[in-house]
Amino acid sequence: MVIVGLRGLSYEDKTKVFIVLGFSVVFLGILGALIYPIMSHGTNIFEVASPKGQPLLIRNLTVGDVSYKDVVALNPYYNNLIIHSSKEGAGNVTITLETPGWCVDLWIWGGKEKGWVLKSNCSRSVSLSYYSFDVRPAHESGELYWYLGAGSMLVFHKEGKIDNYEKVAFKVKYKGKEDEGSFLVSLGRR
């Protein structure tokens, strides 16, 4: 391969030019990899990381003195409600159901004396404090993952027949940011 302008150079000089070009490309690639996280740090991320359409098994559940049959519980024990964000701070997280026929109960741990307290019964929309989540850093970029904390539980249920792999969709809103989450109701082996 002959590059125009290098015809008059000796073999050694051409080799030096190609080595310098090779090192320049590698240097610019490394520099770009270092600068990109700094330049993209200002982006404000807010998204539901989980559930995003995966099947969740229905179960029978007793919370306090309430017994449920065929419900899906989002709770910290299974880490099945996770929000990916780049910002944190006081504010409420609102979860609004989109799928007709479904509702959600919000349970909050009231301590040893009170036990589990029902804060919202069969609602289409519930509001959780930011402090209901355990916030953990993802990596050095400053992004965060919010896991539903040990003191909160969301119980999704439906009056009537539940179809296998029925989709339940909801929206999550926090400080003007909004994203969608969903899960498929798995009936398991029946």
Distances (CA, A) of 159 to 65, 70, 87, 126: 20, 10, 37, 18
Q: pLDDT (tens digit, 9 = 90+) per residue, 65-114?
A: 899 999 999 988 877 898 888 777 778 899 999 999 999 999 999 888 89
E strands, 29-101, where?
Answer: 46-50, 52-57, 59-63, 66-74, 82-85, 92-97
The yes-or-no verdict on residue 156 having pLDDT over 90 is yes
* pLDDT top residue among 69 and 33: 69
Q: How many CB atoms lie within 10 A of CB 76?
A: 17
The mean pLDDT of 145-167, rounded to a whole number, is: 91
Q: How high is the pLDDT of residue 143?
A: 81
